Structure 1
């Protein structure tokens, strides 16, 4: 991609740009005198399927590709339009047209300052040279309907704006919508209606590839929410792409994973959705979002949220240029593309999300990405990524020892170890979901308390054989956890302690 120097520093690397940015609050305060308040965040009232307004855009005067095959931050597309970012400007053409690029008129505070673009569904995200977000809405309609907004953040996408997290090495824009996707499928196999206002996120790969932050425009002006990387957070990605809340990542060894995950799917949005860890298989699907929320006759959203799914190894040479895009209704309607070489031709490897093999499409165009060491062996766990240093241990008022090892806020579930006075031991599972909040939270685990929605799971085989368990274990299960498979609990975590309300315990940090 064409490099644009960032005002607060940039490292040009083979995999992209590393952003060293101010906080969202600083960036908003330092923004050029331009506040854009176009409508964003709601489904289109009706798309104009014509190209009305495109003819007014000046013809591009630079060389641009005839086709856009990958959704990256240099070039991107939805089902109607292709966009490209070059030298601080944005260009557009119908996605099916061979050439015909035109220069997209930009607001004064963005013109000449564009560092990258990403389109999905009916929204386009542009990042300026300071890493700030600018959203253009209604891009499934005609250009005459397009509008820009610099708003981002609580309440309801009306906040003063946000930025990429510091240390971002790659980013992408994702939109899951009722108009295009209609539904998404949980791990119980049930379909659920997409929220009425869509689910839009920036996903940012940070910390040299082993953290993924997602930045939702309805949430506080911070970078506190994370989705773990594969292998329990020990995967180091070199690239990512997300469309319709489906993320594709790859590491330098060519290991590929996908995951369906966003704020709503995670289990955090209890205001609008109903979730359950209890088995929802076989229960009827609700006809709409409101019915599902209020009528427990219908299936709740199954928790935990979908985990990473390992994709088949590609049988050939590949680069770190990866892409995912929508192909139809439902969360399984996704196509994956990875740039590569086969039989002496350049092109891309392609498969549907759930297909069991890759096909190759030759293009004979120059490779753009960096060649990866696509080994046949699994290198998902990167030994250079350390396990989390946060371990907590202590005792309940009744003298039961409780231990949480290597807690990672983005990784769930976590083993919960118990030890009783008679020496018997009992392992439970603690599920955690980063809770809904409307105030700023620092990224990571800090001295500021961080709240989670938790659920303690008793192993099913333990419940089935409770009469054969040691007396201390049986009594604990019956009296403290009520003999339930799952017990909901608030969890609060700091860098110094770990509170689990259902156990009445606050554990000091031991490592």
Structure 2
């Protein structure tokens, strides 16, 4: 109801504002080369299936504390009650060592797991004996892939349906399975992963009792949600899209983590741990990024955010962060991709990342490979400058990659985004947005004062406008509930956003009075100008709300940029999405 009311209020103000601007000539388009907008974005293709295995419970057990309960409110016990009762495995093909978090094996801070013949096996770290994991009959023998992180494991069947086994940092007597995924509040009927191929999907879970805090770019340690943050990340077939499936959010495929190079980098291998995402292409070029729903700025229900630096100290916990105004909001923009140094040796496409200590930067990267004729793995801490090698003597399981020493990240790129927009941002100042990659968190845009143009940076946070009421928690399809992937004409994609003023553009204002007047009026001496966006293939609507934290559209506060021919699309002679 609140979403529909907010939508109607916004529509009323926008309609009134647009009519006023048309009468005043503020939406002049005489000199704009417009065209029919690009096609809607392609949607992921999923196997036909009647649904997840009904024998797996939908709801967890609040007494044992698995499933939806009690999230991060109760610390794990790291106990072994019930461990000796697990049946001993009788298979000969279980591993002696588990060194990678893959879709067939993995580990957390307490246990190791392995998938063989569709069944799941477990042992405590340091044990040599594998044991059978109790699994519902309808799922046992039908598990196609797994991924474990922190206290949870996600298993997928051949149709991609996801099943969660949780409480894995506690005694086995407290473990349990659920099939639910998606809103409302992780009670959705379930969801399919769009990719179940090995090395193409991964579970990421950041915990408030283990990882404890985010280490943000402003040097602060910001608290993790009491509900933790869970997401399954899965690649599109060409590797240019990383779908983010969060069990708390709308049950769709519209949330993505934009790949490096404005969404054009094609990921070949993917691993994630504690909200740190690790990707590699076919030539051994690697990037990492801290990214989840909370830290990127998408969750105003639980967190406070601000554009730029805030001198206040970070809160000690999530509750005090939300309620205590003397503590610092989370600084935006959020983390960007960090290119990792090339590995000085032979590698395969088998990669892994795992948490090593408290804090979101405490991660170890591993890449299978060879050194001096020995099989093993390359490894380093997340922000170390150099790789080390550990021999294992084990056969290589990944596919050997060409790994030139030079940067080859642009050797395989997806086509540029076909979405481009242009319109009048303010009197006498035009704004052009080229290659708008809808999942990328930032891009350079240009403002034009006559024949001169200058860069700004446009930062975007997908999935909300201003208040928590605009978050996509409704079960009703639309901009506040489940929506299609990518950009589509039927459903605007909402963003909290900000224009950032580069120093080069500030300096240019000394010799351009039109630019100087615009910057003074628009940025008012600040580095960031917060706005809200509603974007379809045909239009980018910019809302300049007079009230902080609320996407209020008043007359004169709404600007429409219209689809124009993308320079890259013109060069290619096509406008396919």
TM-score normalised to the size of structure 1?
Answer: 0.90
| Alpha carbons 1:168, 1:206 under 8 Å: kept | no
**Which residue in the other structure is 2:67 paired with?**
40
Q: Deviations over 1:52-110 (max 9, x none)?
A: 22333322222211111100010011111111112221111112223x11221211331
| Alpha carbons 1:168, 1:205 under 8 Å: kept | no
What is the deviation of 1:20?
5.1
Match of 2:249 among 206, 219, 234: 219
Matches within 5 A, 1:370-381: 370-381=399-410
**Which residue in the other structure is 1:144 paired with?**
173
**Which residue in the other structure is 2:472 paired with?**
437
1:451 has 2:486 as partner: no
Whichever structure has more strand as a proportion of its residues is 1
| Alpha carbons 1:257, 1:311 under 8 Å: kept | yes
Match of 1:425 among 453, 461, 467: 453
**Which residue in the other structure is 1:507 paired with?**
561
**Which residue in the other structure is 1:91 paired with?**
121
SS of equivalent residue, structure 2 residue 163: strand
Distance 1:181 1:214 in 2: 20
| Alpha carbons 1:322, 1:339 under 8 Å: kept | yes
Select between 58-67 and 285-294 the one with higher mean Cα deviation: 285-294
**Which residue in the other structure is 2:96 paired with?**
66
Change in CA separation of 1:252 and 1:423 when aligned onto 2, cut-off 3 Å = closer
Matches within 5 A, 1:89-128: 89-98=119-128, 100-128=129-157
1:134 has 2:163 as partner: yes
**Which residue in the other structure is 1:5 paired with?**
none
**Which residue in the other structure is 1:6 paired with?**
none
Change in CA separation of 1:289 and 1:211 when aligned onto 2, cut-off 3 Å = same
**Which residue in the other structure is 1:305 paired with?**
334
Change in CA separation of 1:290 and 1:460 when aligned onto 2, cut-off 3 Å = farther
Larger relative contact order, structure 1 or 2 (CA cutoff 8 Å, min sep 6): 2
What is the deviation of 1:34?
4.6
Change in CA separation of 1:497 and 1:52 when aligned onto 2, cut-off 3 Å = same
Distance 1:232 1:364 in 2: 39
Distance 1:498 1:126 in 2: 39
Match of 1:359 among 351, 369, 388: 388
What is the deviation of 1:507?
1.6
Matches within 5 A, 1:108-507: 108-165=137-194, 170-280=200-310, 283-396=312-425, 398=427, 400-420=429-449, 422-435=450-463, 436-438=471-473, 439-447=481-489, 448-460=491-503, 462-463=505-506, 466=509, 468-502=510-544, 504-507=558-561
Distance 1:488 1:160 in 2: 37
| Structure 1 residue ranges without an equivalent (≥5) | 1-18
Match of 1:21 among 41, 46, 50: 46
What is the deviation of 1:174?
1.1
| Alpha carbons 2:58, 2:189 under 8 Å: kept | no
What is the deviation of 1:485?
2.2
Change in CA separation of 1:34 and 1:289 when aligned onto 2, cut-off 3 Å = closer
**Which residue in the other structure is 2:6 paired with?**
none
TM-score normalised to the size of structure 2?
Answer: 0.80
Q: Deviations over 1:267-322 (max 9, x none)?
A: 11111111222223x54222222333344433321211111112221111111111
Distance 2:414 2:87 in 1: 48
| Structure 2 residue ranges without an equivalent (≥5) | 1-43, 61-65, 464-470, 474-480, 545-556, 566-577
What is the deviation of 1:464?
6.5
What is the deviation of 1:380?
1.1
SS of equivalent residue, structure 2 residue 268: strand
Match of 2:112 among 69, 79, 82: 82
Distance 1:36 1:485 in 2: 48
Distance 1:102 1:429 in 2: 54
What is the deviation of 1:153?
0.9
Distance 2:507 2:326 in 1: 26
| Alpha carbons 1:312, 1:357 under 8 Å: kept | yes
Distance 1:20 1:364 in 2: 40
Select between 468-477 and 31-40 the one with higher mean Cα deviation: 31-40
What is the deviation of 1:396?
5.0
